[in-house]
Structure 1
Amino acid sequence: MSGILLLLAYWIIVRWAYPSRLGLLDSAHDIIEDELRALGPMKRKERAVLTLFLMTVFGWVLRGQINEWWPALSLTDTHIAMLGAIALFTIPVKKGAKPCVLQWDDTAKLPWGILILFGGGLALASALAQGGFIDAIQYFISGQNQWSSVLILIALVTLVLFLTELMSNVALVTVFLPVIAGIALGLDQSILAMVIPITLASSCAFMLPMATPPNAIVFASGHVSVAQMVRSGFWLNLLSLIVILLTNYFLLPLIF
């Protein structure tokens, strides 16, 4: 299902929304090869960055085991990421005036606007959850006993498709799935038939830079504006709604 959705999304973006106007460059391969050769062997700083990156990844993967061995640490993913970042500023890799991989002056090159934008999105999502907005929506939908199961599912998938632009996938699923499971039981419907579409919809974040880190990275390039993302993402959300509903009613019964 994800493959079909991504393939359709790719076709819409490159062929319809923003078609490429670049011609074929015959010497592109040679240029890339020359640039790769110009890089030369890995330098000490580059090896240090690779080592710290791998240590950070292993820390995320093995965090549960590390906390079992040393419960006093109580490590979280945030702690591990911060330790990796601090190490870039503190562990010396060479002699001289600037021995570490990064200096404080390097922070001026960070895309602070994107970081603040992404953090603002997380703050807005937290405000929606703590302010009772999400609960109000849940109570409203769960109280519509006169609606058919199909209409309720369409409403829920549409709601999640647009809320995932403001909330993280995990937070959205954590909040919605218990309520949706209760709605499914009340309608005498399969829980999987209601839960799986919502889970899929929570991953369809196409419209806003703060919706997901990859969106923020693309926006940080400066080649894509928020207006462009919203215009394309809106139609991709509608496409996602159609594909998710078709998958739910035609493919899932064959699997479950």
Structure 2
Amino acid sequence: MHEYVSKERAELGPFSGAERNTLIAFGITVALWIFPGVIALTAGTESDLYATISDRLDEGIVAVLGASLLFLLPTEWKSREFTLNWSDAAKIDWGTILLFGTGIIFGSLLASTGLAETIGQASADGLGLTSTLAITVFAVILAIIISETTSNTASAAVVVPIIIPVAVAAGINPFVPALAATFAASFGFMLPVSTPQNAIVYGSGVVPITKMIRSGISFDVLGAILIVLLLPVLVDLVLGAVGG
């Protein structure tokens, strides 16, 4: 394996100017993303410094800044060649990017408008959920359904705040249902909007949407069963080890 890796690395050769610039842009972007967190650890989240930096280094602004660097970092200054130009950018599959971005926005709107909470509370009340198992199953199904129409991160942010008050109202510990919803939010395999990986596969044009749905629903069902059956056991084992 070591010889194979060494051979492949030798064939790649040294970094090109474009590769070096891409690495620089990526490093700056990641550094700016985590910088507010570093300030929060050192100065505290209540400090004026953290408030100022977090307001100015919004994740979206940093992402746009990082992408802009690719248009600004030159590969050949004399001929005015840059890492990325608009003729290259025009070849990007913008439809897939917009599709995934729409999923993120939809998830945010579900949370901010209160629609997700209304749906969750109404469903829980209508089903009369009173046990840990029932609420866990409901949390898993709800998380998977929402994750098929929004990104995984957005679906977790939407479902978990719904499940916790439902569990508390039923008089049970919300830890397992909330954790189950968090895991289930990553089981959106049917539609391109669910994850960047799905969007990339769909954008390639090789895998049709019908095949994605047929294959994805099998993984969704299998994943839901595994979470419901194994997560409580795993939690008990972990808590037992910690308590012991």
Tell me the TM-score normalised to structure 2 length.
Answer: 0.79
Task: State the Cα distance separating 1:75 from its structure 2 match.
Answer: 0.4
Give the Cα separation in 2 of the matches to 1:91 and 1:175: 39
1:225 aligns to 2:208 (yes or no):
yes
1:47 to 20, 23, 26: 20
* Letter paired with 2:175: L
1:239 aligns to 2:212 (yes or no):
no
Give the Cα separation in 1 of the matches to 2:50 and 2:118: 39
Q: Is the 8 A contact 2:151 2:193 kept in 1?
A: no
Unaligned 5+ segments in structure 1 are: 1-30
Q: Is the 8 A contact 2:191 2:213 kept in 1?
A: yes
Q: Is the 8 A contact 2:100 2:151 kept in 1?
A: no
**Residues 1:144 and 1:230: Cα distance change in structure 2 (over 3 Å):** same
Give the Cα separation in 1 of the matches to 2:176 and 2:137: 12
* Letter paired with 2:14: P
Q: Is the 8 A contact 1:93 1:100 kept in 2?
A: yes
Aligned partner of 1:17 in structure 2 is none
Runs of 4+ in 1 over 6 A off after TM superposition: 31-35
List per-residue Cα deviations over 1:165-223 (Å, max 9, x = no partner): 12233333333323322222222212212211111111212111111112212222332
* Letter paired with 2:209: V
Higher mean C-alpha deviation, range 246-255 or range 225-234: 246-255
User: Larger relative CO (CA 8 A, sep 6+): 1 or 2?
Assistant: 1
Higher mean C-alpha deviation, range 63-72 or range 196-205: 63-72
- Percent of residue pairs identical: 33
List per-residue Cα deviations over 1:41-95 (Å, max 9, x = no partner): 2222221222221222222222334663963862012111111111111233323
Task: State the Cα distance separating 1:38 from its structure 2 match.
Answer: 4.9
SS in 2 for 1:93: strand
Equivalent positions of 1:1-256 (< 5 A) are 37-65=10-38, 68=50, 71=53, 74-129=56-111, 133-144=115-126, 146-149=128-131, 150-256=133-239
Task: State the Cα distance separating 1:246 from its structure 2 match.
Answer: 0.7
Give the Cα separation in 2 of the matches to 1:156 and 1:198: 5
* Letter paired with 1:47: R
Q: Is the 8 A contact 1:173 1:202 kept in 2?
A: yes
Task: State the Cα distance separating 1:161 from its structure 2 match.
Answer: 0.8
Aligned residues between the structures? 227
Higher mean C-alpha deviation, range 158-167 or range 183-192: 183-192
* Letter paired with 2:84: L
SS in 2 for 1:254: helix
SS in 1 for 2:158: helix
**Residues 1:101 and 1:209: Cα distance change in structure 2 (over 3 Å):** same
* Letter paired with 2:238: I
User: What is the alpha-carbon root mean square deviation over aligned residues?
Assistant: 2.9
List per-residue Cα deviations over 1:84-135 (Å, max 9, x = no partner): 1111112333233333111111112111121122233334434544565423
Higher mean C-alpha deviation, range 119-128 or range 246-255: 119-128
Tell me the TM-score normalised to structure 1 length.
Answer: 0.76
* Letter paired with 1:111: D
Q: Is the 8 A contact 2:135 2:177 kept in 1?
A: no
Give the Cα separation in 1 of the matches to 2:135 and 2:150: 21
SS in 1 for 2:53: coil
